[in-house]
Structure 1
Amino acid sequence: MITIIARCSARAGRAEELVQLAGNLVDSSRKEEGNVSYDFYADAADPAKFTFIEVWKDQAAIDFHNATPHFQGFVEKAGPLFAGPLDVALYRKLS
């Protein structure tokens, strides 16, 4: 399994739009065959900071996900809402 942690910040006044787009992405992504879990979190101290935590069966599932219309649509629509680049890291569970 592979865990993805993606952190982002919304531009001033755009957080609610990002939350709505992310909700659609999460709902669709959870239905994918290779998805183990897919969650979206708001920072408790800063309402403009968010974190996606995703767990996928394998790299092939991630590749499939990245090519889906719901993911591609999210990337296109959410890009202007981000205050800066996403911080994305992939992890493999060791124990």
Structure 2
Amino acid sequence: MIKITARQVIKKECIAKYRELTRELVAKSQAEEGNISYTSNQSISDERVHCFIEYWKDQAAIDTHNATEHFQRIIPQLGEMFDEPEIVDLYTEVEF
């Protein structure tokens, strides 16, 4: 399993539109084959800070997701709303 965090700082005047677009992105992403979990999260201390937290079966599922119509259409629109560069990190779970 691969876990992704994608942290964004959104321009204050864009938050409502951002939420509208992410609602669609989350719903369609959660329905994809290979998706385990896909959520949009907002910072408690700063309403402009948002983070997608995603769990995917494998890299092939992520590649398929990145090629979907909804991802290709929505992500560029979200990028226009960023107040800072997005920070994306991929993780695998450490097993003890």
**What is the TM-score normalised by the length of structure 1?**
0.96
Q: What is the identity percentage for the equivalent residue pairs of Structure 1 and Structure 2?
A: 42
Does 2:31 correspond to 1:31?
A: yes
Aligned residue pairs, count: 95
Q: How far apart are the structure 1 equivalents of 2:33 and 2:12?
A: 35
Specify every segment of 5 or more residues in structure 2 that has no aligned partner in the other structure, as ranges: none
Q: How far apart are the structure 1 equivalents of 2:26 and 2:58?
A: 18
Residue in structure 2 matched with residue 57 of structure 1 by the alignment: 57
Q: How far apart are the structure 2 equivalents of 1:22 and 1:85?
A: 18
Does 2:17 correspond to 1:17?
A: yes
Aligned with 2:94: secondary structure?
coil
Extract structure 1 runs of 4+ deviating beyond 6 A.
none
Opposite residue 38 of structure 1, the aligned amino acid is: Y
Q: How far apart are the structure 1 equivalents of 2:39 and 2:75?
A: 17
Shift of 1:49: 0.6
Specify every segment of 5 or more residues in structure 1 that has no aligned partner in the other structure, as ranges: none
1:28-61 superposed Cα distances (whole Å, 9 cap, x missing partner): 0000010000001010010111010000000000
Q: How far apart are the structure 1 equivalents of 2:28 and 2:93?
A: 24
1:44-91 superposed Cα distances (whole Å, 9 cap, x missing partner): 010111010000000000000000011111112112111121100000
Q: CA-atom RMSD, angstroms?
A: 0.8
Shift of 1:12: 2.6
Shift of 1:16: 1.2
Q: How far apart are the structure 2 equivalents of 1:40 and 1:20?
A: 11
Residue in structure 1 matched with residue 3 of structure 2 by the alignment: 3
